[in-house]
Structure 1
Amino acid sequence: PGHIAKDCKSENKPGRQQRQGNARVFAVGQRQRNTGVEGTITLFHNLVRVLFDTGASHSFISRSVVNALGLTPKLLGVPLTVESPLGNSVKLILVCESCPLLIGNKEFLADLIILDNNSYDMILGVDWLWCNHAVIDCHGMLMSFHTPGQAVVRHRCIKTDATMKFGFLALVERVERVLALEDVPKVSLYQDVFQDIVGLPPRRVVEFTIELIPGTSPISKAPYRMAPTELKELKIQIDGLVAQGFIR
């Protein structure tokens, strides 16, 4: 009594509530705002879907990713209360510190706060973007990092779209099974007859050719349904009709 609260020299009582920090994040749940661009980066040698969000004050990681990668979180020095555009708020107390992120062949570090019910694997907010001198080109869908004294790192992104629910990074390859001798019932009984082909056949001493007399007509002729004699008679009749003017 008799002095201002800020000048009180008495120690804090044990039961006094710890001060909390405030944060905001827009990309929570299915409803999203167009406050950033998204892309795919590498976290601990695993591909993750990330949102570079200028509307988020902090950086977050989904609890499902933490469990899948077996990360060991730590307690936050000050509990963080996150507010979403839906009006909901949640208290966060765990963080994964110094997580290595590989973007454009360059490694970055990030302290990621664990967040439940996240639409993305990771959200990199203003705190991380500011520290790494990040510039977002919303028209060109390009992220660039202008770290002083280092080469500019660029990363291609895509526009956030609530209608795109799933994405896959895969290579489709048609696999065809090659038949072996054992797979053919009849041939498998006589495997000693069919020798393995190790390469092209050797060149022969004498090349096989058929020599023809000069002026010889073609050996093969186009097959017809009529006999040659009948075809000859038909040609005579057609020529007669043409000569008489019945056929033009």
Structure 2
Amino acid sequence: MDWLSYHLAVIDCYEKIVRIPLLNGEILEVQGKRPEKDHGLLACIKADEKKLDDIRVVQDFPEIFPDDLSGLPPVREIEFRIDLIPGALPVVKSPYRLALSEMSELSSQLKEL
């Protein structure tokens, strides 16, 4: 990617073309080969059943976990929201700071302790 950015190359993913400006002002176009037909692929993988021995945390603490791990908890709706008031502004509060006289007084009190 560094070489492409150094030479100001433009990558057009949809057209599968890389355009590289040359020193003489011309543009070099490199075009990827497009298949004539779109070959759709469908992949299917069968997973083995998960055992307690396969999960590292369960291996370390077998007395805590049940013998049958059914998988992830069921998907459920979360009932949480924050209602915003239209047009409301955030609370503006200046940070707490001591005046110089108060700071010197506090410093002297600390020295007395």
Please, what TM-score do these two structures have when normalized by structure 2?
Answer: 0.23
Name which structure has the greater RCO, CA cutoff 8 Å, separation 6+. 1
Q: Which has the larger share of helix?
A: 2
Q: Which has the larger share of strand?
A: 1
Please, what TM-score do these two structures have when normalized by structure 1?
Answer: 0.13
